[in-house]
Amino acid sequence: DQQVKQNSPSLSVQEGRISILNCDYTNSMFDYFLWYKKYPAEGPTFLISISSIKDKNEDGRFTVFLNKSAKHLSLHIVPSQPGDSAVYFCACLGAGSYQLTFGKGTKLSVIP
């Protein structure tokens, strides 16, 4: 049973527009959420995170929104750039835990 779902396997966005990547989770014990970005032949790199006590965290062009009641988080990238083209993984962490539970990823393509 998948605890973290990224329902869109791929997304194409025009350069300069907003990219919105979505993630849903089922485990109510998750209280820390992260986004990782992965280029081909490289390991995932940490992008941004949010604690369950917040509903928004912003870092430059990247903003993560958390809706705890809906068990939903999203990553907004604005403006999108061709270098943002990668696979984005949502990951969740339970309180006092260290095991990241990952979604299957969404492949973002930013078209110049």
Partner 1 sequence: GAGVSQSPSNKVTEKGKDVELRCDPISGHTALYWYRQSLGQGLEFLIYFQGNSAPDKSGLPSDRFSAERTGGSVSTLTIQRTQQEDSAVYLCASSPSGYTDTQYFGPGTRLTVL
Binding residues for partner 1, rule CB under 8 A, total: 25
- Rg of the chain (C-alpha set): 13
Q: Which of 4, 13, 21, 64 binds partner 1 (CB under 8 A)?
A: 4
Greatest extent of the chain over all pairs of C-alpha atoms, in Å? 43
**How long is the chain?**
112
Other Cβ atoms closer than 10 A to 37? 21
Which tokens sit at 48?
């941004």
Q: Which residue has the tokens 């820390």?
A: 32
Q: Which of 19, 71, 88, 105 binds partner 1 (CB under 8 A)?
A: 105
Residues 48-77 that bind partner 1 (CB under 8 A): 49
Residues 11-40 that bind partner 1 (CB under 8 A): 32, 34, 36
Judged by the rule CB under 8 A, the positions of this chain that interact with partner 1 are 4, 6, 32, 34, 36, 41-46, 49, 89, 91, 93, 96-105
